[in-house]
Amino acid sequence: MNKKTKIYFGPPLAILTEKEKNTLEISGKINRSAERYLEIMRRHGVELTEPERQCLLKVCAAGYLASYEIVELADDVRDSKFTIDGLDKAALAAKLEAASFADLIAVVEELGY
């Protein structure tokens, strides 16, 4: 068990916990959500080659990605101007288009974004 810590409740956490009435309920809601999130990360993703991974690192290099930007990753790959040895941009874009939103989230999270 981790020690208690103060956290900033930005809009997503405020919305997530708006129906909870007390600290224990809020803590429970956040912990259940985190547990489910971790399970989604474990079960989802897209198998990437190293050139595909390097491509996505370049595409995501701007930093934080909003949900709508994550959905557009295939377009970003297709529209990118750089080249990487061994990269088939069309194949990567097809993988990303076939992926579920949970798969795309897992990819972005694994890349550190």
Between CA 37 and CA 41 the distance in angstroms is: 6
Same domain, 21 and 55: no
Whether the pLDDT of residue 95 is over 80: the answer is yes
Same domain, 106 and 60: yes
The answer to whether residue 101 sits within a structural domain is: yes
Same domain, 38 and 64: no
The answer to whether residue 6 sits within a structural domain is: no
One-letter amino acid at 74 equals: A
Q: Which parts of 1-113 are beta strand (E)?
A: none
Average pLDDT over residues 24-28: 94
Structure tokens belonging to residue 44: 């989802």
Question: What average pLDDT is seen over the chain?
Answer: 95
Tell me the residue range of the domain where 87 lies. Answer: 50-111
Whether the pLDDT of residue 106 is over 80: the answer is yes
One-letter amino acid at 72 equals: E
In tens, the pLDDT along 30-81 reads 999 999 999 999 999 999 999 999 999 999 998 889 999 999 999 999 999 9
Same domain, 99 and 61: yes
Same domain, 30 and 83: no
The Cβ of residue 55 has, within 10 Å, a number of other Cβ atoms equal to: 23
Sign of CA dihedral 113, 82, 51, 88: positive
Same domain, 83 and 37: no
Same domain, 58 and 25: no
Average pLDDT over residues 16-34: 95
Q: How many domains does the chain have?
A: 2
The answer to whether residue 36 sits within a structural domain is: yes
